[in-house]
């Protein structure tokens, strides 16, 4: 973790095994199945609510911009809080315009040049 922000050093380390789906339900084996209608997964894994309440190392940001198409996508609060607690938790994310998942290197937080997941 980056300790230069002066906050992360005071927080307990992230327990990535503390996982649920976005609604708090247990992670299912088929959560990665893609819905043909939306291109989104059946479910998305997040850090558990208990794990998220241990503290954030980044601000909670809900909306990111896909640099390739310029479209903003807003995610659920539990995913946004997972990024804030553990910026490296995900490797890719969804764009509502492209209707598919892309690597985080293609996304910045809305209104910034800061890459999502950094
Ligand atoms: Zn896009």
Q: How far apart are CA 61 and CA 27, in angstroms?
A: 24
Q: Which contiguous run of DSSP H or E holds residue 92?
A: strand 92-95
CA of 96 to the centre of ligand 1 (A): 7
CA of 6 to the centre of ligand 1 (A): 34
CA of 72 to the centre of ligand 1 (A): 8
Average pLDDT value over all residues in the chain: 93
CA of 107 to the centre of ligand 1 (A): 9
Residues 62-82 have pLDDT tens digits of 999 999 999 999 999 999 999
- For the CA atoms of 75, 81, 87, 88, the dihedral, rounded to the nearest 10 degrees, stands at -80
CA of 61 to the centre of ligand 1 (A): 18
Q: How far apart are CA 86 and CA 18, in angstroms?
A: 12
Q: Which residues, at least 6 apart from 16, have a Cβ–Cβ distance to it below 8 Å?
A: 47, 86, 89
pLDDT category at 3 given cuts 50, 70, 90 is: very low
Q: How far apart are CA 110 and CA 69, in angstroms?
A: 13
């Amino acid at each position: 973790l980056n300790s230069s922000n002066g906050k992360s050093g005071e927080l307990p380390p992230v327990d990535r095994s503390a996982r649920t789906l976005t609604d708090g339900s247990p992670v299912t084996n088929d959560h990665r199945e893609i819905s043909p209608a939306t291109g989104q997964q059946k479910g998305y894994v997040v850090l558990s609510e208990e794990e998220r309440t241990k503290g954030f190392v980044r601000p909670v940001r809900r909306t990111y911009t896909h640099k390739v198409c310029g479209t903003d996508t807003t995610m659920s609060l539990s995913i946004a809080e997972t990024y804030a607690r553990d910026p490296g938790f995900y490797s890719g994310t969804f764009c509502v315009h492209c209707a598919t998942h892309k690597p985080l290197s293609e996304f910045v937080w809305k209104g910034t040049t800061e890459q999502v997941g950094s």
